[in-house]
Chain A
Amino acid sequence: MKIKDAEIISLMQDPRTQEKGVRALMDAYQSRLYWHIRRIIVDGAIAQDALQETFIKAYQNFHQFKNDSQLYTWLYRIATNEALQQVNKMKKMQKSDEDPEYYMQNLVADNTEGNAEEIQILLQKAIQSLPEKQKLVFMMRYYDDLPYEEISKIVDMSVGTLKTNYHYAKQKIEEYIKENYER
């Protein structure tokens, strides 16, 4: 049975049921948040750490959650910040002469399943070629189907800017795939 956000919030707010609340929160959102983080970070181990840190921060700062926003919006915001921090760390640790975009695209190739389709691999590489904001908007809209209004709360951008960013992101990705796809 899928537990509702209101129930999770209620459990989390009562110290006696907080443990149950954390478990319910993780059960409900771990998969969505993991894949959101994983598409940004690509590396599996670092993505796992980032998700753990997301839940720990959510637990520790739950008193800051306001009921006027959706629970998943708040969680996506924490997860996105955590993922971007990890990516920045990764970029700082990489070799100085290596192109960050090239580095991320190689990471995609190293982390994909053996039976993954070429077009899907190309799509992930194309996403990694995007500027950060376009990348975030595209992933949240394309994969998670989040409304622009919610994405706006997560990344602190206006809905109009988000729509423009999504349009450009999609255009760049299609061009990238047309250029690189080998039949």
Chain B
Amino acid sequence: MKDFDLEKLERKNIYKIPENLFENIQGKVLGGFNDFDLEKLERKNIYRIPGNLFENIQENVLNNVLPAKKVPIFKLNWAYAAAASLALIFGVTFVLNNDDSKGKENSQETFAMNNQESKTESEIAYETLKSDLTSVENNNQTIENQNNKTSYVQDNSNGGEKMKSQTVKLVPKHNEAQMNEYLESFTNSEISELASNSTQDVYLDLYN
């Protein structure tokens, strides 16, 4: 092959190719578009939507339209309104009357209790005076002077020595007479013994 010339060689494709290769390629490229029919395409909604979309829309719409509408829906029936008003008036009157009678009963009870209480206070005052007869010695310590004054009474009811403040009220006259009788029952020696404590009472009185 000394005379071989590449230029003179025949240009040939020696590879095997399938039959109708190019027809098939053209068919594949163009076939889709030739067959494309918009009417045959599936109708799809391809946009994203948030969860609970329609629930939210319904809620927003109802919130917007219903409050304004609720007022006209209510129809005022004058007969019912008048009947309701009368019932209310009678009801309130009845309740108030009941309260008044109860109030009276209560006030009576309170009064009785107060009476009891005042009696107790009188007794307390009497007991106080009885236990502290030095007040008799002091001419200035009249019953009138003790009106509404605060005194300190030793409270031994709970066993402990606790000073409590209380208002000494006016001692009734029958108590005064009772006290005088009680004082008369004392002997002279007893009275003089009791009088020795008068200094302390005067001292206490200064601070009352």
Inter-chain contact B65/A59, CB cutoff 8 Å: yes
Q: Is A149 an interface residue (CB 8 A)?
A: no
**Prevailing SS type, chain A contact patch:** helix
Least CB distance from A82 to B in Å reads 13
Bound complex: CA A173 to CA B57 (Å): 33
Least CB distance from A155 to B in Å reads 20
Known: A174-B38, A181-B33. A22 touches B65 (CB 8 A): yes
Q: Mark A138-175, 1 if CB is under 8 A from B, else 0.
A: 00001100000000000000000000000000100110
Q: Is B9 an interface residue (CB 8 A)?
A: no
Inter-chain contact B73/A16, CB cutoff 8 Å: yes
Near B by CB (< 8 A), chain A positions 7-65 give 15-16, 18-19, 22-23, 26, 30-31, 34-35, 38-39, 42, 44, 48, 51-52, 55-56, 59-60
Identify A142's interface contact among B36, B43, B56, B61, CB under 8 A.
Answer: B43
Q: Mark A110-128, 1 if CB is under 8 A from B, else 0.
A: 0111001101110110000
Q: Is A133 an interface residue (CB 8 A)?
A: no
Bound complex: CA A52 to CA B55 (Å): 11
- Write out the residue numbers on chain A whose beta carbons fall within 8 Å of the beta carbon of B29: 183
Identify A56's interface contact among B32, B45, B53, B65, CB under 8 A.
Answer: B65
- Write out the residue numbers on chain B whose beta carbons fall within 8 Å of the beta carbon of A111: 47-48
Least CB distance from A13 to B in Å reads 13
**Prevailing SS type, chain B contact patch:** helix
Inter-chain contact B57/A30, CB cutoff 8 Å: yes
Q: Is B62 an interface residue (CB 8 A)?
A: yes
- Write out the residue numbers on chain B whose beta carbons fall within 8 Å of the beta carbon of A174: 36, 38
Inter-chain contact B64/A56, CB cutoff 8 Å: yes
Inter-chain contact A15/B72, CB cutoff 8 Å: yes
Bound complex: CA A48 to CA B49 (Å): 10
Bound complex: CA A31 to CA B49 (Å): 11
Known: A177-B36, A183-B29. A124 touches B46 (CB 8 A): yes
Known: A113-B46, A119-B41. A34 touches B62 (CB 8 A): no
Bound complex: CA A178 to CA B49 (Å): 29
Inter-chain contact A116/B69, CB cutoff 8 Å: no
- Write out the residue numbers on chain A whose beta carbons fall within 8 Å of the beta carbon of B50: 44
- Write out the residue numbers on chain B whose beta carbons fall within 8 Å of the beta carbon of A31: 54
Inter-chain contact B61/A22, CB cutoff 8 Å: yes
Residues of A within 8 A of B (CB): 15-16, 18-19, 22-23, 26, 30-31, 34-35, 38-39, 42, 44, 48, 51-52, 55-56, 59-60, 111-113, 116-117, 119-121, 123-124, 142-143, 170, 173-174, 177-178, 181, 183
> Nearest 7 A-B pairs (CB), nearest first?
A116-B46, A55-B61, A178-B33, A59-B65, A120-B46, A112-B46, A111-B47
